[in-house]
Amino acid sequence: MEFNANSITFIYVHGAGNKPAEPDLKRAWDEDLFERDMGDRTRMVHYADLLHDRPVTIAADACSASGALGALVSDAFAGTALLEDAEARETFGKMAPDGQEFALSLTISMAARAASPMGLAPTAGARPAAGVAELLPLPAPLRRFLLRQLLRHLIPDANGYFFTSARDRIRDRLRTVLDAVNGPVAVVSHSLGTVVAYEVLSEADFAHKEVPLFVTLGSPLGYTEIQDVITRPLRIPAPVRLWTNFADPLDVVTLDTTLADDFRGAAKVIADFVVDNPSPNNHASCGYLRSRHVRDAVTAAG
């Protein structure tokens, strides 16, 4: 990929789930997005160590065809019981009551979207109550599948971010990087990292920071359950000049693929794009970062 070398610095904010050590993760994002090591032109905001005991290695098949979503859905319809696997049951059991309520409510909301035409909730603006779960026009195995997928890809770390003392320490990681960079920055974020980035960029201390581009990949920011526990009112962070949001409609974490209809003043700032994430779960960062549309947007900013 050709790259226009100027003064802009790219800041990565990774998503939910355990991650490799910071240098390895930064290098992987460089390769996925720019197809080369970007050196000091990119910085990784790494916070997985605040939520997980030890780093993991990068899975070689993270974006391969093995274990594709279709196969996982087939497994769900085979009759797997809700949280029957020990790991998922343990994860859910460790959550505080607020976290459990959040997990179930978000799952019901996502199930409603998955079951309705065009991925929209049955009643615009409505937040389904917990008792609605059995009434959704969605087979119980698929509802159970959605919760298991969310427990693997989003909810445990979201619980740690929203409902524990880790929240401010995670945001401090991004604050530190923003403070350390002179000149304009482009923030590229994924999954839960889109929430972290939105909250920090919305802080008054960064109102005068130059952010010509804010990229969100596989973001859950469109969900009421997420919006209820983030910085309000919902508005474009002051320093952001262009916000490009990319979503795969089969990504369990971002079934609500648009953000421009949620944020005040978004008409001329947020551009929503539907893309194909070829990773097995349609959510992995590598699949988004390798998308031609994402690469084009980032290259144009640089």
Residue linked to tokens 């960079």: 181
pTM of the model: 0.78
pLDDT digits (tens, 9 = 90+) for 68-119: 333 333 333 333 333 445 555 666 677 777 777 777 667 666 666 665 544 4
**Are the beta carbons of 68 and 53 closer than 8 angstroms?**
no
Q: Which long-range contacts (CB under 8 A, 24 or more apart) does 83-87 make?
A: 83/144, 83/147, 83/148, 83/151, 85/148
* Residue limits of CATH 3.40.50.1820 in the chain: 9-57+166-301
**Are the beta carbons of 251 and 218 closer than 8 angstroms?**
yes
Q: With a cut of 70, which residues of the chain have pLDDT below it?
A: 1-6, 58-62, 64-92, 104-105, 107-153
pLDDT digits (tens, 9 = 90+) for 187-218: 999 999 999 999 999 999 999 999 999 999 99
- For residue 207, what is the DSSP state? T
Class of domain 9-57+166-301: alpha beta
